[in-house]
Amino acid sequence: MLPTRPDIFLSRVLHLGSTGILLAGVVAPLIFDSVGKIAHPAIMPVFAILAFVTGLYNSFMLNPKPSKMARGDEVKWKILVHTKILLILAATPLLNFLPTHLAQGIRVFVTVSGILVGSYAKFFREKASSQ
């Protein structure tokens, strides 16, 4: 079955791909001696921005809309989305003022947390929207 909205499909692919690259970029330096250019300081912010933009696009294209959720569920949904946005910021140069090993540790924790929050948010939205 082909997607009925190729723009939403492409946006989801770009969102998942960019967050996967962010994860690889923050975890690879801790595992491998040489990681090539995947964790290059100029590349990570680009993928963070891509994850942010595609995430916003995906949230505006959601069907059914979170506004149709029960009031308590809508508030929880908004908290989850804002948490994801804050977590994406950890992949930007904002942490560069910290010692390298500390910044890397924070980025790993935040990126893994972002993936967990994002996965939970998707299931939460589906359940809350179906009620």
DSSP per-residue string spanning the chain: ---S-HHHHHHHHHHHHHHHHHHHHHHHHHH-S--TTTT-TTTHHHHHHHHHHHHHHHHHT-SS-GGGS-HHHHHHHHHHHHHHHHHHGGGSGGGTTS-HHHHHHHHHHHHHHHHHHHHHHHHHHHHHHH-
Instruction: Report pLDDT for 58.
Output: 82
Instruction: Report pLDDT for 102.
Output: 87
Arithmetic mean of pLDDT, 99-126: 82
User: Quick check: 125 and 77 in contact, CB under 8 A?
Assistant: yes
Instruction: Report pLDDT for 73.
Output: 83
CA angle in degrees (0–180, nearest 5) for 121-102-88: 25
Instruction: Tell me whether the omega of the peptide bond preceding residue 3 falls within 30 degrees of 0, making it cis.
Output: no
Q: What are the extents of the domains in the chain?
A: 6-130
Q: How far apart are CA 1 and CA 20, in angstroms?
A: 25
Q: Is the pLDDT of residue 123 over 60?
A: yes
Arithmetic mean of pLDDT, 100-120: 83
Per-residue pLDDT tens over the stretch 39-96: 677 787 888 889 889 988 887 776 556 667 777 888 888 888 888 877 777 766 777 7
Arithmetic mean of pLDDT, 10-38: 80
Instruction: Report pLDDT for 97.
Output: 85
Instruction: Report pLDDT for 116.
Output: 86
Instruction: Report pLDDT for 14.
Output: 94
